Each structure stands twice: as C-alpha cells, then as structure tokens.
C-alpha cells in the first residue's frame, strides 16, 4: 500500500513520539543523544520512545514506502534507458550505453594495463 504522506494520528503515540518520528525521517542517522539535546530530553527517554512498538511500526512503514518509491523510479529509469539505447540517433544510443556501463561497473577497479579501451556502438566511438 503506497502513501504519499504518512499519517501520524495513531492513538498509541504521543507528541514526543511524533517529534522523534519527524526528526528520524528528516535525519535518518540522528542519534538519540542529538534528539534528546534538541528536545530537552535524556538519551534514555528518547531511546524508550524511539524503540517503542508504535514508533518502530511507523518508521518501518516510512522505510517501506521509500523503498517502494525507489524501486518504481529504478524501474522507470531502466525502461527509459532501454528506449534510449534503441534510439535511431546513434549519439544518444552511444551516450546512454556509456552511462549504463558506468553504472554497472564497480567504481574502484585497479587497471593494470593503462592503454585506453576503444568502444564503438553502431559506428560511434564511446569515450
């Protein structure tokens, strides 16, 4: 089930829970200590609320929605790339092939042979 906005009107959570949820959504790596400092609460109080079943359920739903959205965007990007690879414009096709190859090849490769590799697609050199 996709939702554009997560409703926080759940009876099991209070105002502090809502504030914690909003801070974690805005800054996923924020620590309990940082949240506590901003809200004037102890780290332990924040941890108790943040780890509660109700708060975790909401945060998990947000994460699932984010993952669903990411997967949909990924699918759209792959479909668009596939169309562009089949373009009649050879430069467009070569360019998208180059970008696709860059996205699937690991970024840190030790190259033992410094000679350049020449790639051509439909007679167009890909640099």
In 3D space, the residue among 31, 57, 54 whose CA is nearest the CA of residue 44 turns out to be 31
- The mean pLDDT of the chain is 82
User: Averaged over 109-119, what is the pLDDT?
Assistant: 59
User: Averaged over 107-115, what is the pLDDT?
Assistant: 57
Q: What is the pLDDT of residue 2?
A: 45
Q: What confidence category does residue 27 fall into, taking pLDDT thresholds of 50, 70 and 90?
A: very high
Query: Is domain 1-76 annotated with CATH 1.10.10?
Result: yes
Q: Where in the chain is the domain with CATH 1.10.10?
A: 1-76
> Cα(7)–Cα(10) distance, rounded to whole angstroms?
8
> What does the pLDDT look like over 36-86, one tens digit per residue?
999 999 999 999 999 999 999 999 999 898 889 888 988 888 888 888 888
Q: Which helix (H) or strand (E) segment is 36 a member of?
A: helix 32-39
Of 4 and 56, the structure prediction assigns the larger pLDDT to 56
Collapsed DSSP state (helix, strand, coil) of residue 78: helix
Cβ atoms of residues 84 and 96 within 8 Å? yes
Q: What is the pLDDT of residue 1?
A: 42
Candidate from 13-27, 60-74, 113-127 with smallest mean pLDDT: 113-127
Residue 109 has pLDDT above 60, yes or no: no
> pTM of this prediction?
0.54
């Amino acid at each position: 089930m996709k939702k554009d906005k997560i409703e926080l009107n759940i009876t099991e959570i209070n105002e502090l829970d809502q504030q914690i949820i909003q801070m974690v959504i805005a800054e996923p790596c924020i620590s309990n200590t940082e949240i506590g400092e901003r809200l004037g609460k102890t780290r332990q109080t924040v941890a108790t609320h943040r780890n509660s079943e109700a708060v975790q359920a909401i945060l998990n739903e947000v994460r699932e929605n984010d993952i669903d959205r990411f997967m949909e965007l990924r699918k759209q990007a792959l479909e668009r790339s596939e169309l562009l690879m089949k373009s009649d414009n050879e430069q467009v096709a070569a360019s998208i092939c180059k970008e696709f190859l860059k996205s699937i090849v690991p970024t840190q490769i030790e190259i033992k042979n410094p000679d350049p590799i020449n790639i051509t697609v439909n007679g167009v050199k890909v640099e």
